[in-house]
Amino acid sequence: MNVLNKINGITVLAASLLVVFYFATIYCIDYFEIDYTIIGVFRELLTIPFLLAQLFFLGISVVLFLRKGIIHKRCILLSIVILCCSSLFTGDYFFNFL
């Protein structure tokens, strides 16, 4: 059974919002200079998986946008916009390319 048949627009939207929330939290931690060891440990452990998840869900949302009907296209299009903006933001934050 195809995995893409089980994923709908709401699931992709929720996952993309979770990724954006994580990177916004990382930005706030750096902006307010919060420096606790346990926060640093979780930050180091979760940053690369969230970067990969961001790209994965962007790819999934583009594929779903091209395959699904009109009902789910609004949620999926919103996910594409959110993840593209988040990709630019995190890319600029980590790699300084903008």
Question: In this structure, is residue 1 part of a structural domain?
Answer: no
Tokens of 18: 């979770």
Question: In this structure, is residue 57 part of a structural domain?
Answer: yes
Question: In this structure, is residue 29 part of a structural domain?
Answer: yes
Name the domain count of the chain: 1
Q: Is 96 helix (H, G, I), strand (E, B) or coil?
A: coil
Alpha carbons 11 and 48: distance in angstroms, whole number: 21
Question: In terms of pLDDT, which residue wins out, 71 or 16?
Answer: 16
pLDDT of residue 36: 93
Question: In this structure, is residue 54 part of a structural domain?
Answer: yes
Domain containing 62: what range? 14-95
Question: In this structure, is residue 73 part of a structural domain?
Answer: yes
Question: In this structure, is residue 40 part of a structural domain?
Answer: yes
This prediction's pTM: 0.79
Q: What is the DSSP code (8-state) at residue 68?
A: S
Confidence class for position 69, pLDDT limits 50, 70, 90: low
pLDDT of residue 50: 93
Question: In this structure, is residue 69 part of a structural domain?
Answer: yes
Question: In this structure, is residue 30 part of a structural domain?
Answer: yes
pLDDT of residue 38: 94
Question: In terms of pLDDT, which residue wins out, 5 or 85?
Answer: 85
The per-residue pLDDT for range 27-62, each reduced to its tens digit, is: 889 889 999 999 999 999 999 999 899 888 888 888
